[in-house]
Structure 1
Amino acid sequence: MTGQDTRTGAADSPEVLIVGAGPVGLTLAISLGQRGIRCLLVERSRSVGTLPKMDLCNPRSMEIFGRLGLAEKIRAAGWPLDARPDVYTGPSLAEPPYAVLSYPSIAETRERVATCADGTEARESYQRISQYTLEALLGQEARALPTVRVCFGHELTGFSQDADGVHAEIRSANGEKSTVIARYLVGCDGGGSLVRKTLGIEYSGRARVARNYQIFFRCPELLDKAGLEPFRHYYLAGARQGVLIAQDDLKRWSLHVHITADADVSRLDPAEEVRAALGLDLDPEVLHAGAWTPHLLVADQYRDGRVLLAGDSAHQYIPTGGFGLNTGIGDADNLAWKLTAVLRGWGGPTLLDSYHAERHPVGVRNCRAAEYAATGVETWRRLYDPVVGHDTPVGRERRRLLAAAFNTYQRRSHEQHGTELGYRYALSPVCSHETGPLPDPDSPVYQPSAAPGSRLPNAWIKPGASVHDQAGTGLTLLALDTPTLTTDRFLGAARQRGVPLDVLRLDGRGDLRQLYGASLLLLRPDLHVAWRGEDTDVSPDDVLDVCTGRRTRPDSPDTKA
């Protein structure tokens, strides 16, 4: 960028300005760019991140990346497909563990997914990948799009908005200033978000819930010296309390040690801390060491006019459960199609309001899920005392109780399938509403449902081909043994409104009719169900007007509340 203005309306001016090039900002830029939306992505750092802030893309995020054509690229860059992500606890890596939670490898999980016929599995399995690896990959993908411009070393310093757009002031690393005018601005600029602060939006929740000392280091010989197979997490319950996290190449590691609020980390020797905590004679190459503080916070609003928040600028969680980045990927997926619809003229005035109405409850829900996982860790850790290491009847009994508690409560961090897949946009003004009993969207156990607002459960059309794969980039009408006259009425109503609509006809599949609960389903680009019903009780005009935000459903709550 140079010092000139970038004016809205010019052929190369951005329609959307994205602030922050972490995984959420990059995913949003890719999703918008693939839809033909011109984006400018600015990031104050000079390059992509280098720290392992996250290590897991959950199945829902991998579904989203699959829709962007990135799932297999992410798998190729990430954790080995045949390595098991087991979770240990023990006094150190030099001593036998107290307990182990064993989990299937990615390859094993993919085999299970491929044969699942009841909708309980996602289209994609999870994928372990370090955040710095993911950011580098997403950065390359974003730069390759002609509609996306990525500018590292450029910082947002302020902005204002009016009825036509957002005026943003950008400063480069060498001090050059630019004015950018875009139709919309999305703040993906992290927990200290300047965008959120400028809007005056507060966080609600609990700040500074703990304090940890992170040591990120390279040590290719660690597994050999410990005599261990690959693992995901090793929870230390001994002289040191912390957790060792394997990174995707199994050569780099992240050690998090609990410290007091007033601990002076400048006095700590990170290499010695690694040796002392792990109980191994290692020579680690320390890549980073520093204190960090987790939070449980959600922004009170996700939108103010033409400015929106996504990712950590909208919510900050304790890492347990892996909900932080994955919730942000869901934000980007939700927002990308809505911005596209509005910018291309087929989205109505309620559509962007629905971003807060849909994603804020998910943000609050996932904050509770992260806290639930964290209290699980705290619960089993409270049973530790030095006696568990004694080879006495009392020591063996204490060790048994600790192992049993770990086996019960640690699972909260790794087995919240319902939290990942089962959320439903019950308060959405752009989804129809159904009465009667429905699965609990807050349950950690996933119960497939195609009720409006829910993510469409995955089902296979044939081996290797999912219903998800056949859905279009606009709206999709899924028709199961439905008269052509009915689908033609939907297509006609869509054409009148300029709404992109594909029809996916699957006849003779009674199993899908049973799983999805209707013969007609209107799917959004994010694969959430906007409406379902039968050909005898449908008004295509009403259905399309609600789901595109031209008008709200009659029983919709106030989306601005």
Structure 2
Amino acid sequence: MACDVLVIGGGPVGMLLAIDLAARGVTVTLVEARPAGQLPSVKCNHIASRTMETFRRLGLSRAVRAVGLPDDFPNDIVFRTRMTGKEMARIRIPSRQDRYTATGGPDTDWPTPEPPHRVNQIHFEPILFARAAADPRITILSHCRFVSATQDPDGVSATIESLDDGRTITVQARYMAGCDGGTSTVRKLIGGQLEGDAVIQRVQSTLIDSPALLGALGSGPAWMSYNYNPERAGTVLAIDGIRRWLVHNYLLPDEADFDSIDRDAGIRAILGVDCDFPLEIVAHEDWIGRRLVADVFRKDRIFIAGDAAHLWVPYAGYGMNAGIADAMDLSWLLAAVIQGWASPDILDAYVAERKPITEQVSRFAMSHAARAIRERTTLPPEIEDDTPEGEAARAQVGEAAYRLNVQQFACAGLNYGYFYDASPIIAYDGDAQPAYTMHDYVPSTVPGCRVPHFVVADGRPLYDLLGAGYSLLVFDRSMDTAPIIEAAARCGLPLSVLHFDRTLDRVPAEYTHNLLIARPDGHVAWRGNAIDDPSGLVDRLRGAAREP
């Protein structure tokens, strides 16, 4: 069996890598250990805005947006003493029916046509699987295990084992990507080791069925509920908005053994119900929050992405979403080489771009985790008392919780603020990219930044106009663009040209130059008012520049 790219791991990261590669004309073999169609565990509960943009580009956003909680179910984050206890604070998040129209809240007015979507992985992963299975460029080897691989200057030869009958399948590919999770076999194959903080938080995680809980809540429903009390702190997520709930029981620092903690008792303490309250444990998957980053992301023709490359406490939902960002960067780089218009050296950009961002995001998550742990383990003892002192304690804790957590649930900085400042395929101009935080984002056209969003005169967002390859944005029609267009054509570099009227199209002030080149992944590759060396610029964009 032969293909252009072999992808190991059929979770959201691996499937989106395969789907995006196929959309670029690349043939893919996707290997997944689960049987075809088997649902994943209830892990990821949030699709970040940047990921929703990817779904939009691939024609999947409407289908993904349509699943999950009921249309009118509040996507709020609420802070209570217990699920059936007193509410202390609430971060207002629009429900699905209001997602595109709501304004003025902490999680509205996103600089994008696709704001985030709160939905569990069990609802959206089947959509990805159906899309991948229907694509003739993708071959899915379900219920199969990656065994080993060797590589030479021309490609990769991998051994795959069928878990149905034990037969061995050999796959020949030009490149291979390991999206096979935290215990990644591919990472071990390329000699990668995870480095960082091995234990930040132990979490006893349980999916329960409890139709009675929705009616027993201490205040209005919410997508995510933080429960803070001196007995047991935990988070509860609404999975279907009716009866399924995911309960995260945060173990105390001295509780090192998952099995020593009574699961049922812990759940009931978080919910605030007695032993007679009806609930059923459906499944559980306990986990350890970490901050670990692989020291190696690539060896020659083999790459890793997602949890195979980094693990951290998934604050702001940026576990899976960071992995998808890896995959989208890797996808267009691999496609560029396979399509023949880029030098193989362009692949050096993957590590140069994604590894520094991984370090930044992981430290954001670790810092937030430390503050959250401190918050829920230093509660006033009177927090549940029905007294003026208890009310004052709840107000204090609620205000602090809101202030801390609104940063991760309205995380424009984490979605749009990050930039690539040391990439070999970006033409920098000496200006510094704006700093960002998990929450704060300053739009900028400094090379390496995300191309700032705007809506043109006919109502279409810029991102719907960008091409699958590079896009030249022209803000002054007097500019002579023929030399760069001709230089791109000589090398086969895909370059679409878009003209804008600064006034009619309401072009933001951040577009300070008359010309800008956007990369396939929406980052600024170059900007200027004249192109002095069009052939040199094209060589830079396709990874063939002679100088760093």
Q: Which residue does 1:451 correspond to in 2?
A: 446
2:451–2:523 CA contact under 8 A, matched in 1: yes
Matching residue within 75, 89, 97 for 2:79: 89
Q: Which residue does 2:183 correspond to in 1?
A: 192
Residues 519, 299 of structure 1: alpha-carbon distance in 2 compared, 3 angstrom cutoff = same
Paired residues for 1:31-110 under 5 Å? 31-47=20-36, 48-110=38-100
1:321–1:373 CA contact under 8 A, matched in 2: no
Whether 1:204 and 2:195 are equivalent positions in the alignment is yes
Paired residues for 1:38-437 under 5 Å? 38-47=27-36, 48-111=38-101, 121-173=111-163, 174-226=165-217, 228-238=219-229, 239-259=231-251, 265-266=258-259, 270-280=263-273, 282-437=277-432
Question: How far apart, CA to CA, are the structure 2 residues paired with 1:205 and 1:286?
Answer: 34
Q: CA deviation at 1:80?
A: 3.7
2:87–2:218 CA contact under 8 A, matched in 1: no
Q: Which residue does 2:528 correspond to in 1?
A: 533
Structure 1 window deviating more from structure 2 (203-212 vs 242-251): it is 242-251
Q: Report Cα offsets for 1:301-335 as digits up to 9, x if no partner.
A: 21110000111001111022211111111111111
SS in 1 for 2:545: coil
Q: CA deviation at 1:88?
A: 1.9
2:408–2:439 CA contact under 8 A, matched in 1: no
Structure 1 window deviating more from structure 2 (384-393 vs 139-148): it is 384-393
Residues 34, 250 of structure 1: alpha-carbon distance in 2 compared, 3 angstrom cutoff = farther
SS in 2 for 1:180: strand
SS in 1 for 2:520: coil
SS in 2 for 1:339: helix
Question: How far apart, CA to CA, are the structure 1 residues paired with 2:387 and 2:339?
Answer: 72
Q: Report Cα offsets for 1:92-120 as digits up to 9, x if no partner.
A: 22222222222333444422589xxxx96
SS in 1 for 2:289: coil
Structure 1 window deviating more from structure 2 (224-233 vs 264-273): it is 264-273
Which residue type is aligned with residue 169 of structure 1? T
Which residue type is aligned with residue 166 of structure 1? V
SS in 2 for 1:158: strand
SS in 1 for 2:365: helix
TM-score (norm 2): 0.92
Question: How far apart, CA to CA, are the structure 2 residues paired with 1:107 and 1:523?
Answer: 32
Question: How far apart, CA to CA, are the structure 1 residues paired with 2:209 and 2:387?
Answer: 38
Q: Identity rate of aligned residues, in percent? A: 34
Q: Report Cα offsets for 1:442-490 as digits up to 9, x if no partner.
A: 5630111121111111110136411110111111111112336x22222
- RMSD across aligned positions (CA): 2.2
Q: CA deviation at 1:46?
A: 1.9
1:271–1:284 CA contact under 8 A, matched in 2: no
Question: How far apart, CA to CA, are the structure 2 residues paired with 1:360 and 1:267?
Answer: 37
1:189–1:195 CA contact under 8 A, matched in 2: yes
SS in 2 for 1:549: coil
Question: How far apart, CA to CA, are the structure 2 residues paired with 1:301 and 1:367?
Answer: 16
Question: How far apart, CA to CA, are the structure 2 residues paired with 1:497 and 1:150?
Answer: 33
2:236–2:246 CA contact under 8 A, matched in 1: yes
Residues 150, 282 of structure 1: alpha-carbon distance in 2 compared, 3 angstrom cutoff = farther
Q: Which residue does 1:559 correspond to in 2?
A: none
SS in 2 for 1:210: strand
Question: How far apart, CA to CA, are the structure 2 residues paired with 1:545 and 1:113?
Answer: 43
Residues 148, 249 of structure 1: alpha-carbon distance in 2 compared, 3 angstrom cutoff = farther
Matched length: 537
Whether 1:491 and 2:455 are equivalent positions in the alignment is no
Q: CA deviation at 1:30?
A: 0.4
- Give the gaps of 5 or more residues in structure 2: none
